[in-house]
Amino acid sequence: MKKYFLKSGRCAAFFTYIKAGFSPFFVIFVFLCLSSCRENPQTVMVNSYYICGSKGEKEALKELWGLFAEKKLTGMERFALIREIADVYQRQDEYEKLTNFLSEWVLKNPDDQSNGYYLLMIAYSYIKQDSPDVAAMYFNMIVKKYPDLIVKGSSIHLECLKQLIVLVDTPKEKIWCYEELISRFQGSIDLGTTWFMLGKTYEQAGEWEKAIGAYAKFIPFYGAIIPGYPGAYDYAKQMVDFNNSSKNWTFENLPALMNTIKSALEEGNAYRLWQYRAKVNFFSRSWAQTDAEDSGTAEFNLPSFGNSSRISYAADLSPGSNANEAYLRTWGWNQFTPIWYFYFRKVNFPPDPEIHGRWEWAGVYYGERF
């Protein structure tokens, strides 16, 4: 294998480093190291495998590797050199050289406090090489086996956890990442989004009690925008509120609910009818309104309702009804909005198997359905 032999005290021209892509500050650092560390000239062997790139880059790498072999460098000086050598390989897309260089260093120097950062650079190199599974292995190892470091103002553990959430596959692994973020980095993350996503991941794992607990933590972050979940706040609030309610308004099946509602309509008993509505998350709005524009509570026209002959309902459910939701057209309410559609839905609440799959009267739509 070809070796380059460099003499201590030899300095490449300043412009050669600049042309090779090194910052002026780092070049000054190199020259200072050269002048302070190499008082006695000696020969240093450099593996030709690691010398690559343009002429300027090769010259710079030769000098960097020669300096890297110095015994008198401080820990910070050596850290800066390792990072700069690795950065050269990154700029060159020489990820195999980067990985071999850093892996060898970590293997031979297990007590180096900067090893976590070197492994982080290796992990990112595998992402660049389209090997996310290998990268995830390194990110996981850094968080669990190496002390955290602050490099360029950022925690390497925080960066690893952010990457792992995207790369890992199982809910169990994602849950661990979210919990670590919340317990260790609340001031550096979008806490609302993290609580919500933790809740969703608990759901995927079937841990419903913990999911609802996470949603309860998310609710104070009203207005938070969760990418991919436009109705995140309403969903979380409905889950928490429903969990905390008696749930005693639900019916075993849709026919039982329909018969009860129709009976109350025929009787003309507003109070009785009102008792059958969902006590949590009940809505009333026009078809054009959104959840955010919900008027909150349906206001029955009690005088007109008292005259049962004026309130009629369709014999069958309206088109658009299905196995999970149904619409009943009613009319005769008042001169402004005479037509109301009662909206029924199947309860989707896996945390309580006895309630999950039952039916509830969940809301009212005003006006004709288009």
As a whole number, mean pLDDT of residues 100-109 equals: 95
Percent of residues, the chain, with pLDDT higher than 70: 82
Return d(Cα 75, Cα 92) in angstroms, integer. Answer: 26
In this structure, of 10-24, 123-137, 148-162, the range with the lowest mean pLDDT score is 10-24
Measured over all CA atoms, what is the biggest interatomic distance in the chain, rounded to whole angstroms?
A: 110
Average pLDDT over residues 104-123: 96
Q: What is the pLDDT of residue 43?
A: 46
Report the C-alpha gap between 31 and 77 in whole angstroms: 12
pLDDT band at residue 35 under the 50/70/90 scheme? very low
pLDDT value at 34 more than 70 = no
Q: How confident is the model at residue 13 (pLDDT cuts 50, 70, 90)?
A: very low
d(C-alpha 63, C-alpha 46), whole Å: 9
CA distance 11 to 31: 7
Average pLDDT, the chain: 85
At 217, list the tokens.
């933590």
Q: Which residues contact 247 (CB under 8 A, 6 or more apart)?
A: 347, 349, 352, 355
Residues 183 and 187: their CA atoms lie apart, in Å, by 10
Task: Name the pairing type of β-strands 312-313 and 3-7.
Answer: unpaired
Q: How large is the average pLDDT for residues 63-90?
A: 88
The CATH fold assigned to 254-366 is Nuclear Transport Factor 2; Chain: A, (3.10.450)
Ordered by start, the domain boundaries in the chain are: 1-92, 254-366
- 116 phi, psi to nearest 5 deg: -60, -40
Mean pLDDT of 327-341: 89
Give the pLDDT mean for 345-357: 94
* 267-303 pLDDT tens trace: 888 888 989 999 998 988 889 886 655 544 455 544 5
Residues of the chain with pLDDT > 90, as a percent, come to 65
More confident residue, 84 or 9: 84
Report residue 306's pLDDT band, with 50, 70 and 90 as the boundaries.
low
* Predicted pLDDT at 304: 52
Higher pLDDT, 6 or 366: 366
pLDDT over 80 (residue 45): no
What pLDDT is attached to residue 50? 86
Q: What is the pLDDT of residues 242-266, one digit of tens each?
A: 999 999 999 999 999 999 999 999 9
pLDDT at 28: 45
The pLDDT of residue 71 is 77
- Of the listed ranges 230-234, 303-307, 350-354, the one predicted with least confidence: 303-307
Q: How far apart are CA 165 and CA 161, in angstroms?
A: 6
Task: Provide the pLDDT confidence category of residue 37 given band limits of 50, 70 and 90.
Answer: very low
Query: Where does the chain show beta strands of DSSP type E?
Result: 3-7, 43-47, 150-151, 154-155, 283-286, 312-313, 325-331, 339-346, 359-366
Predicted local distance difference test score (pLDDT) of residue 268? 84
The whole-number average pLDDT for the span 350-355 is 93
Residue carrying structure tokens 């969902």: 278
Contacts of residue 53, Cβ cutoff 8 Å, sequence gap at least 6 = 20, 61, 88, 92, 94
Instruction: Give, to the nearest 10 degrees, the angle between helix 115-128 and helix 75-91.
Output: 0
